[in-house]
Amino acid sequence: MVKLKDLIQKEPIMEGGHRMCLGCGAPIIVNLILRTSDAPVVLANATGCLEVASTIFPYTAWRAPWMHSAFENAAATASGIETMYRALRKKGKINKKINFVAFGGDGGTYDIGFQSLSGALERGHRFLYVCYDNGAYMNTGVQRSSATPFGASTTTSPAGVVIQGKLQKRKDLTKIVVAHNIPYVAQASPHNWLDLTKKAEKAFSVDGPSFLNVVSPCPPGWKSEAKDTIGLSKIAVDTCFWPLYEVENGKYTINYKPKEKLPIEAWLKPQGRFRHLFKPENAELLKQIQQDIDKEWEALQRLASL
C-alpha cells in the first residue's frame, strides 16, 4: 500500500513551473496518481488546460514520455502507444513493464472524446484513463459540457433573466464506463489523497483498462477561491454531489459515507457559478438539485448493497 512518506519522497512527474492556475485541482490529481505507479509511465493527454499549460514549447513540465495529438483522441492515442508496446515486447525489443495513462478534462472525456474512450475501453487496452472533471470547457473560457452540473452558469449556459444557468443534468459518465465491464472504475477526489492513491494503485494493478473520474475544482470556472480547492472537493464528497466509490469487476463499493450528509447549499454557496440559484425565486431549483442528489445517492447505495 502507498505510504505518505514514500509518496512525498518521489519526484513529481509533472514538474513545477507549469502555467496551470493557482488552485487548479488537475496537477494535484496528476501527481498523486502518477506517484503511485509501480513502473515507469508513458502519458497521453487530450487537448485542454493540462496540455496547454504544461508544454509551451520549448518548455515541458513532464519528466516522463508524454504525448498530445488532439482533443477527442487521448484514449485512441494511448491505445496506439500501448499496442506498439505489445508489438515491440513480442519481438523482444522492449522488456520492462510500463504503465500507460491518458488524461482528459470533462470536455475531452464526456463529450468530444467519448467515442474514442468507449472504443479503447471495449478493446481492452492495458491503460488507465483519468478524467479530471471540472465541469466545463475551462480551457476555452468556461463553456458548458455534459459534465456541467444542473443550474451552473457558464459562458454558453449563462444565468439570465429567463434562463437560470444550465437546464440539463450531468451525464453520469462513471456509470457509463462501468457498463463497459472493464476491470476497474472509480470516482475519487483530490482532498482524500489516501483514497485516491489506493484507487490509482488498484487501477495500475489490473490487466486491462481502468478509469478514474476525479472531481477537479477550477477557481476561474467555479468562481471560487484558490485556497478553497481542497475544501471544496471535500464538500463535494460530504454533500454526496461526488460520492467516492469504486467498481471492481462489476462490484460496487462505496469508499466513504459521510456521517452527516451536508445539504447541497454547502457546496453551491462558495461557487459564483451557482450564485443566481440563491435568489428567492429560484428556491424551487435548489430543492430540485437536492432531490436529485438524494435520489442518486440512494441508487448508489442500492448498487453497493447488491
Q: In the complex, which residues of this chain contact another protein (CB under 8 A)?
A: 40-42, 44-45, 51-52, 55-60, 62-70, 72-73, 76-81, 83-88, 90-91, 94, 96, 98, 115-116, 118-120, 122-123
Between 111 and 195, CB nearer to another protein: 111
Between 5 and 91, CB nearer to another protein: 91
Residue type, 18: H
Min dist CB 26 to another protein, Å, is: 16
- Alpha carbons 35 and 197: distance in angstroms, whole number: 8
Min dist CB 116 to another protein, Å, is: 5
Min dist CB 222 to another protein, Å, is: 24
User: Whose CA is closest to 81, among 131, 46, 129, 43?
Assistant: 43
The x, y and z cell numbers of residue 154, run together, are 457558464
- Alpha carbons 109 and 116: distance in angstroms, whole number: 9
- Alpha carbons 68 and 72: distance in angstroms, whole number: 11
Contacts of 279 (CB under 8 A, 6+ apart): none
3-state secondary structure 33-44: HHHCCCCCEEEE
Between 18 and 198, CB nearer to another protein: 18
Neighbours of 266 (CB within 10 A): 15
Min dist CB 97 to another protein, Å, is: 10
Between 123 and 275, CB nearer to another protein: 123
Min dist CB 13 to another protein, Å, is: 9
Between 66 and 241, CB nearer to another protein: 66
Cα distance from N-terminal residue to C-terminal residue, the chain = 27
Between 84 and 283, CB nearer to another protein: 84
Q: What angle separates helix 26-35 from helix 193-205, to the nearest 10 degrees?
A: 50
Min dist CB 15 to another protein, Å, is: 11
Neighbours of 124 (CB within 10 A): 15
